[in-house]
Structure 1
Amino acid sequence: MTLRPASAPQRTEPDLADRIHGGWLGRIAGNMLGKPVEQGEVWTRDRIDRYLRRAGALPLTGYLPEPVDPADRAVLRPEWRACVRGRIDGSCRDDDVDYTILGLDLLETHGPGFSTEQVGGLWLLRLPYLQTFTAERAAYRNLVAGLGPPLTATYHNPYQEWIGALIRADVYGWVCPGDPVRAAGLARRDAVLSHTGNGVYGAMWAAALIAAAFTAPSVRDAVEGGLGVIPAGCRLARTVRRVAALHESGMSWEQTLATLSEETAGLGWIHTVPNAAVLTAGLLYGDGDFTRTLTLTVRGGLDTDSNGATAGSVAGVRTGAAGIPAPWTEPLRDTVRSAVSGFDGVRISALAQRTLRLATAVP
């Protein structure tokens, strides 16, 4: 038995409140990290690293630095000035956080027995149409036209397997700590409003992954917990298992992503499957370290803010709010900007407390 020196700091295991708060903080921090370079056909993995290298920021250990190359500055997202280190003063508004807030409001309003129709009704009540994109905008338009699920997901909607449903899944994992099956069921009921196939499986996998992260002995075990709720033969499951196998073989993070990029070529940068590959690689190669998990995931490219947000959620649940380094959390000022009616300017800590009440209320 090896004794820890008396002077060494000892950190207690995070409790449920700390883990849920960590999930919220991690999601928002990861979203902010990836937001400036969210345009996968422009901001490839190689270009992101060139940006960082020119700024002297490799390895990346925090929020993105300001661009030093005018060519980079010209193609960053317009919100970049509020998302780079030294300029952040509270979180930016983003759909990756709006949908998490909507999910919380849904559960508070209708409880865990909510219907897909109630998800759509809440969108019409709380979410501005112009703050929706791809599959969500198609579903919103179908709702206004009087269609109901499942037609809302299939009529004039070419984005059915894109990442939109996956980014809505976190709150279902947070309110079902240690219960991936229940989390996946909630996420599925939300997802089918706008998605089908791998789009729905992505939401189920993400919710289950986050629920499993509360109790799984390792990140790899949490990833496996997520896989347990979706069909083993679907492309999403096969891709996630492929990343895990390459990681286990000792292949480098760079080689793994290069391999998966070739194997998922043609799906596009917002499709669920290639983004799940980037996310899984960030989680596994991040190996439980909050900063490394977020930075590797965002450096992986594609839908950087969405992947960073989900990776941050998992990492935040694993480490708890108290374990997240202050440079990630202090610039957020415990404040959320949101397009969701009634929620703009809400405290992150207040959202976490409301989520905790739901998590402890679910039988």
Structure 2
Amino acid sequence: MTPVGGDLQDRVLGGWYGRIAGNMLGKPVEQGEYWTRARIDAYLRRTAALPLTDYLPEPADEADARALRPEWQSCVRGRIHGSCRDDDVDYAVLGLHLLETHGFAFTTEEVGELWLLRLPYLQTFTAERAAYRNLANGLKPPLTATYDNPYQEWIGALIRADVFGWTCPGDPHRAAFLARRDAVLSHTGNGVYGAMWAAALVAAAFTAPGARAALDTALTVIPASSRLSRTVRRAVSLHEAGLSREEALATLDEETAGLGWIHTVPNAAVISAGLLYGDGDFTRTLALTVRGGLDTDSNGATAGSVAGVLCGAAAIPARWKDPLEDRVRSAVFGFDGVRISELAARTVELAEE
């Protein structure tokens, strides 16, 4: 399938803008153990920012400033001059470089080689850092994912998946196949399924009439018996039953208790709820997803990517795009300062193959 309306360039650019803006929105409160939904909303009330319609405001006092991540000074409204560096954007850049370098027939081993060549070790975290260490010690996939790696089902592979969706518009199964090949370098089980689901979700957004349809399609690429699939279906059913967002998230919290705030499954629930209750509105989707807590910058990035593809860059309000100044900070060697528009154009070239 090809995207309806011949607006591929605008939709891909929307995906890049959505990912970066969502990441920037969630970055200051990216600490799920502290920044619960209640604390995030209390912060927004103290700063007169509810309903949330823009980047986070500056903290109201020193206590809030200390609680935010140190990157807040380049991520809050009025202080943003281009995107700040973050792994949620680094992996999208690196994925683009992977496809440009090795094509769609890339191997998992080639993903690992590119990490060692282009990605600084100290800019990797959890499962990616474990896999990187294993690569440096001479291990090969799939051992890189399983040896001394307690993070195999965490969210890292999911955040790497968007580029496979952007380059496979309207073809969620192909996108999921590519994402799986990338994900098994560092993840297993629901960690791999999360990458496949996210890639398919982004790819489906090019042709789906809305977020619900994209979510339904994305579920077809992962095992129905997996905990990830069951949790996403549960989020959909709670929304369909008419529960409020708060009631739905409280229910999902109870049903995923104990997995931790960086695990793929509870974060996929927050992403799904953000997309469903965002109801097609870009700003509302970003705001509700980040206010959902857990891994806020990763969730905002994925939901923003899907929402951006659904609406296209031209429809994203200027308050999200203009502060980014068409510029990306990146730890990927050779890409720091690259223009967002250039990344999108290069992505379109691959998609048109």
Q: TM tier, shorter chain?
A: over 0.9
* Residue aligning to 2:179: 187
* Residue aligning to 2:106: 114
How many Å separate the matches in 1 of 2:153 and 2:190? 5
Match of 1:17, as an amino acid?
A: Q
Deviating runs (4+, > 6 A) in structure 1?
none
* Residue aligning to 1:52: 44
Alpha-carbon contact 1:14-1:319 (below 8 Å) kept: no
Matching of residue 274 in structure 1 with residue 266 in structure 2? yes
> How far has the Cα of 1:13 moved from its partner?
5.6
Superposition pairs of residues 119-130 of structure 1, within 5 angstroms = 119-130=111-122
* Residue aligning to 2:323: 331
How many Å separate the matches in 2 of 1:230 and 1:269? 22
List runs of 5+ in structure 1 lacking aligned partners.
1-11
After TM superposition, the score normalised by the length of structure 1 is 0.96
After TM superposition, the score normalised by the length of structure 2 is 0.98
* Residue aligning to 1:205: 197
Matching of residue 146 in structure 1 with residue 138 in structure 2? yes
CA-atom RMSD in angstroms: 0.9
Equivalent residue of 2:224, what SS? coil
* Residue aligning to 1:296: 288
> How far has the Cα of 1:32 moved from its partner?
0.2
Match of 2:280, as an amino acid?
A: G
List runs of 5+ in structure 2 lacking aligned partners.
none
Match of 1:82, as an amino acid?
A: S
Q: Deviations over 1:87-123 (max 9, x none)?
A: 1010000000000000000000000000000000000
* Residue aligning to 1:157: 149
| Greater Cα radius of gyration, structure 1 or 2 | 1
Match of 1:136, as an amino acid?
A: E
Match of 1:54, as an amino acid?
A: R
- Percent identity between matched residues is 78
* Residue aligning to 2:305: 313
Alpha-carbon contact 1:14-1:320 (below 8 Å) kept: no
How many Å separate the matches in 2 of 1:351 and 1:88? 20
Q: 2:214 aligns with which of 222, 241, 260?
A: 222
Q: How many residues of Structure 1 are paired with residues of Structure 2 in the alignment? A: 350
Equivalent residue of 1:107, what SS? helix
> How far has the Cα of 1:14 moved from its partner?
7.1
How many Å separate the matches in 1 of 2:179 and 2:36? 30
Matching of residue 99 in structure 1 with residue 73 in structure 2? no
How many Å separate the matches in 1 of 2:124 and 2:159? 12
> How far has the Cα of 1:69 moved from its partner?
3.1
Match of 2:130, as an amino acid?
A: A
How many Å separate the matches in 1 of 2:72 and 2:49? 16
How many Å separate the matches in 1 of 2:5 and 2:41? 35
* Residue aligning to 1:5: none
> How far has the Cα of 1:301 moved from its partner?
0.3
How many Å separate the matches in 2 of 1:193 and 1:327? 37
> How far has the Cα of 1:70 moved from its partner?
2.2
Equivalent residue of 1:40, what SS? coil
* Residue aligning to 1:258: 250
How many Å separate the matches in 2 of 1:354 and 1:218? 26
How many Å separate the matches in 2 of 1:352 and 1:168? 16
How many Å separate the matches in 2 of 1:322 and 1:291? 14
